[in-house]
Amino acid sequence: MTELFRFPNPINEKAARVVAGVVALTALLALATGWRWLLVPLAYGFIARAAAGPTLSPLGRFAMDVVAPRLGERKPVAGPPKRFAQAIGAVCTTAGAVAYVAFGWDTVADVLLGMMVLFATLESVFAVCVGCRMFAVLMRLGVIPPEVCESCGDIWSRVPRPVETA
């Protein structure tokens, strides 16, 4: 059971960017058409990915197994910040879905959908993960302990080291 809810570390940034692109387009479609009910599958996807990575997310599996391999060599990035970003997406889309379905608060749902369009577009198009940056700030402040993501705290692990020649 613990294997089912294991978030991969590292993850392929290309797969994450594909997922973000679909999220951005779905949120934009919801805003353009008034189909706020799309917050429900968006929320499920974020909850599934935050809980178990791509394992329980059809979009995550498709991005990881089908699309990303066709985009070239893997680009590994740390998993914990991406999981944190998925959790933020889960909170926002779930709040939007509840606001719309339970209370009929269209404006709240639209604001949260707009946030999804903005943040998912930044991730998909520019490789700027706002949730990952928030994670880094929280690590610097000591809110998130260093052992949660050792590679996040060790900047030298991301810098290629020179090869010694004899």
Residue 6 pLDDT class (50, 70, 90 cuts):
confident
Determine, yes or no, domain membership for 102: yes
State the pTM of this model: 0.86
| Mean pLDDT to the nearest integer, 37-50 | 96
Determine, yes or no, domain membership for 76: yes
Determine, yes or no, domain membership for 32: yes
| Of 135 and 7, more confident | 135
Determine, yes or no, domain membership for 163: no
Determine, yes or no, domain membership for 43: yes
Determine, yes or no, domain membership for 72: yes
**What are the Cα distances from residue 127, in Å, to 20, 55, 62?**
10, 23, 19
Average pLDDT, the chain: 90
Determine, yes or no, domain membership for 2: no
Q: What's the total number of domains in the chain? A: 1
Q: What is the pLDDT of residues 104-148, one digit of tens each?
A: 999 999 999 999 999 999 999 999 999 999 999 999 999 999 888
Give residue 122's domain range.
11-158
Q: What is the pLDDT of residues 72-96, one digit of tens each?
A: 999 999 999 999 999 999 999 999 9
Residue 132 CB-density burial (10 A; 0-12 exposed, 13-18 middle, 19+ buried): buried
Determine, yes or no, domain membership for 52: yes
